[in-house]
Amino acid sequence: MRSFLKGFLLIFLLSGCFSKAKETPKVIFYFDLKGYFTQLANQLNQQNPTINKSVSKNDNPESKSLKINNWNEEFALFVNADINKAAWRDSYSKDSSATKIIYTTKNPDLKTQKIIIDLTNGKPSHFYVETKIDNLLYHTTEHLEFYPDSLYEIKKSQKVILLGNNQYKIIGKFK
């Protein structure tokens, strides 16, 4: 009886190793910001363009001409602002026309507050993203803008208890 139980247990454990996991397809309720910027980052990683990048903290700018080693990291704030989560399906209102799509949160506690996508001939020509995090330790707002093949800009305002206020600005201009 003991060998039977060992054999049954072994078969049971091994069957779990070979079962095929069913992937649930990702449902897109809103514009796929994550997909757009991930695909763009992959293209730019291959093209390896040179950009003029300016970074400033509290109005102390520093500029360089450089190549970005990892565009996925460079666009992380845009990717992380994606609003396509099943739990947020009804959390944003959509106002759209042939030239513009606007998503506005219905819940002020969500990080991504607003996304505006300007369209030219049905393709995105400008992105504006507004995010906010507010808790007992800090308050952060971000204003992200992106113009394909031209420029991206990140403005961040941060107020941290005991550390004070800081303003950050990053501008990347494609050559």
Length of the chain: 175
Round to whole Å and give the CA distance between 111 and 105.
Answer: 9
Is position 106 within any domain?
Answer: yes
- Domain range for 38 is 32-174
Residue 12's pLDDT is 43
Task: Tell me whether residue 121 is in a domain.
Answer: yes
- Match 């003991």 to its residue by tokens: 2
Q: Looking at residue 122, what is its pLDDT? A: 92
Residue 19: what pLDDT?
Answer: 45
Pick from 109, 156, 161, 150: nearest CA to 129: 156
Question: What pLDDT score was predicted for residue 26?
Answer: 62
Position 140 in a domain: yes
Domain annotation covers residue 10: no
* pLDDT score for 162: 87
Which stretches of the chain score pLDDT less than 50?
4-24
Considering the domain boundaries, does residue 20 fall inside one? no
Give the span between the Cα atoms of 153 and 81, in whole angstroms. 15
User: What stretches of the chain adopt beta strand conformation (E)?
Assistant: 50-57, 60-67, 92-96, 100-105, 112-120, 123-134, 138-147, 151-160, 164-174
Q: Is residue 47 part of a domain?
A: yes
**Helices first, then strands: H and E counts in the chain:** 4, 9
Total domain count, the chain = 1
